[in-house]
Amino acid sequence: MKFYSTNNKTNKVSFKEALMQGLPLDNGLYMPVSIPDQSKLVKGISTLNIKDISYVIAKSFLDEEFKNSDIEEIIDYSITFDSPLVNIYGNIHILELFHGPTLAFKDFGARFMARTMEKVVSNNNKELNILVATSGDTGSAVANGFYNVEGINVIILYPSKKVSKIQEKQLTTLGKNIHALEVDGSFDQCQSLVKKAFLDLQLTKKINLSSANSINIGRLIPQSFYYFNAFSKLKDKNDVIISVPSGNFGNITAGLLSKMMGLPIKKFIASTNANKAVPDFIKNGFYKPCQTIQTISNAMDVGNPSNIKRIINLYDKIDLLKEDMLSWSFSDNDTINTIKMILKKYKYLLEPHGAVGLLGLENYTKNLSKHSGIFLGTAHPSKFLDVIEPEINQKVEMPERLKNILDKEKQSIKMKNNYTEFSNYLLENFI
């Protein structure tokens, strides 16, 4: 299968090229030339587990460039945990995507990419340097997924004092081939530095660069796995509504691709915090980036989400997009109140991003008589102790894998939001 740039459909490359380049030189994003039909998979999906589902989907994108045995190995290595569907009340369910190594949904994409890139690099004999901007969980998932992978360095840019303490520990304490840059700025500014590096021809001639953000098509494909897996677990598969906490909009783009592959989802809801560029776009019909607003759901603090390019590319008209996706924003106060209410009433503890997802789902389904509602739980609540514990007045149990990193020493380099400083750092350390 070939992949084209959203800025130029004649610019077509192989999957391996799209994976390793990360970003086209024309500053677009890669998309598949055709979307695989998975209607046969849907028909028998209730009998399949997540590895079976993941293999079928991955094969439909990769089989022209990877042997079946390689694809099986990639899935066996990366999809080592499930995504349970847990009923909260009535027909409302949470898809728990936080059972991977770093307790965040981004483990799916990061581990898949790590194994896929490792196979490509092993045949090239050329060191690869991965740039990734993070607003929280991406950095830790990528760091864990690529840790100690031979031939690959990872350079993580994160906004100083704008990620949780535990998230920062996860992405700054590994060492070896993982390098953390603490940038004096926002996530959008970190992402801008990464994009400038990809478009800097003088830099890319000297350093072999790729990306592990959701701008990379290799992150997007495995994110479709758990939408199919969630559907397989539903008893009532009619009128399915899925609400996705949305920041850089890669997660919901994977959902929309799943729908186009044949997954029968009635409607997707893109639920955001106060950063509401996309809700405004859905409401007004024109897209305008916003200045980033800091919130308690920090992984969604994105004023100019990259993947809006892919969504606009998938839908020629705003009315067509509205048939598949709606979007609303919610305040920190709404988020906290939802966490408290669900804990008190249903004995289930949400974290801020999942709470925003539930708010979006409830906003849509409140006037529906029949539906099966799913919202995505994108991270474990213990990753946000500083936000949750003061509000619920009780301790949150922390998994051992998180406890073990608290005493580790932070290893990061502080950096200004300055491209010259960033490019000089890359040239001095990774040639």
Residues serving a catalytic function are 106
Residues 229, 50 contacting (CB under 8 angstroms): yes
For every residue of 168-179, DSSP letters joined together read HHHHHS--TTEE
Place of tokens 């380099």: 413
Q: How many residues does the chain have?
A: 431
CB atoms within 10 A of CB 406: 11
DSSP state of 213: S
Q: Residue 22, by phi and psi: left (phi above 0), alpha (psi -120 to 50) or beta?
A: left
Question: Is the sign of the CA dihedral 383, 86, 301, 295 positive or negative?
Answer: negative
Which residues, listed in sequence order, are joined to residue 269 by a DSSP beta bridge? 243, 326
For every residue of 219-255, DSSP letters joined together read HHHHHTHHHHHHHHH-S--SSEEEEEE-SSSHHHHHH
Give rounded-to-5 percent helix, strand, coil for the chain: 45, 20, 35
Burial of 122 (0-12, 13-18, 19+ CB in 10 A): exposed
Residues 173, 146 contacting (CB under 8 angstroms): no
Cβ partners under 8 Å of residue 202, min gap 6: none
DSSP state of 47: G
Which residues, listed in sequence order, are joined to residue 347 by a DSSP beta bridge? none
Q: Which secondary structure element, helix H or strand E, spans residue 372, and what is its range?
A: strand 372-377
